[in-house]
């Protein structure tokens, strides 16, 4: 018990806990995959490890601030990890050029589908302007989504929640939909991952192969840029 208390107050507790649980989640998914591939898709390591961290923090009564003292070190790796996406992009540059029109059309379709779906949901459930502003950027990576949300009057906490939820849902459901709809093209799969599930989707896309990861990284980047320009225009016409 004393060792647990010492570990809890360690500067590296959040860092070590996150890495350990993620590795355990990866092994768990591999074990499940041996028995049931469909069920393994639902056992997404990011989702499982996040749920496990929340449970442990609740049981041990550890505050998020205390966890983040060490957890923040993982945040530092986001930038170099994102930059690393340039490697598969470079290796698949010829395929991108060859399928340029299809890639751009796919990203545009994904971008506008994301925005239109949010508008329809807000209209159907009669949500107010604040909710609309918070949800519109749900399909882009968190730093971009927060910037957009703050600019158009959204609620930051809600934006972060829906961005994470969208990433989880996209990463888990996309492989199942690919199987059901018989979508086997790495280009189509990558664009779907990148435009709908941003970083979480791109992480799963990497398990589908280098070409899929390259397309997902490209789609995530371009979709983020498009969303930055499109959403402020859309919000002016709707509100």
At 149-166, the pLDDT tens digits run: 888 888 888 888 888 888
Mean pLDDT of the chain, nearest integer: 84
Both structure tokens of 206: 């990497």
Q: What is the pTM assigned to this prediction?
A: 0.78
Contacts with 228 (C-beta within 8 Å, 6 or more apart), sequence order: 144, 147, 148
What residues does each domain of the chain span?
Answer: 1-76, 85-239
pLDDT band at 1 (very low <50, low <70, confident <90, very high): low
pLDDT at 18: 87
Averaged over 135-156, what is the pLDDT?
86
Both structure tokens of 46: 């990011």
For 179-223, the pLDDT digits (tens) are 889 999 999 999 999 998 888 888 888 888 888 888 988 898 889
pLDDT band at 234 (very low <50, low <70, confident <90, very high): confident
By CB atoms closer than 10 A (0-12, 13-18, 19+), residue 135 is buried
């Amino acid at each position: 018990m004393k060792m647990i208390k010492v570990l809890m107050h360690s500067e590296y507790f959040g860092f070590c806990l996150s890495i350990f649980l993620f590795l355990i989640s990866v092994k768990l998914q591999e074990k499940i995959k041996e028995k049931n591939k469909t069920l393994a898709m639902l056992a997404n390591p990011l989702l499982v490890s996040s749920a496990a961290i929340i449970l442990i923090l609740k049981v041990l009564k550890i505050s998020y601030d205390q966890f983040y003292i060490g957890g923040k070190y993982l945040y530092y790796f986001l930038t170099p990890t994102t930059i690393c996406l340039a490697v598969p992009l470079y290796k698949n540059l010829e395929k991108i050029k060859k399928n340029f029109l299809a890639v751009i059309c796919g990203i545009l379709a994904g971008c506008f589908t994301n925005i239109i779906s949010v508008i329809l949901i807000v209209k159907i459930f009669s949500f107010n302007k604040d909710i609309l502003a918070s949800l519109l950027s749900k399909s882009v990576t968190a730093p971009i989504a927060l910037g957009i949300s703050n600019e158009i009057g959204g609620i930051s906490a809600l934006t972060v929640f829906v961005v994470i939820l969208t990433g989880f849902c996209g990463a888990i459901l996309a492989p199942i939909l690919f199987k059901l709809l018989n979508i086997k093209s790495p280009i189509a799969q990558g664009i779907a991952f990148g435009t709908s599930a941003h970083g979480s989707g791109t992480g799963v896309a990497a398990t589908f192969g280098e070409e899929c990861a390259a397309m997902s990284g490209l789609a995530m980047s371009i979709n983020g840029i498009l969303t930055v320009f499109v959403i402020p225009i859309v919000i002016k016409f709707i509100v």
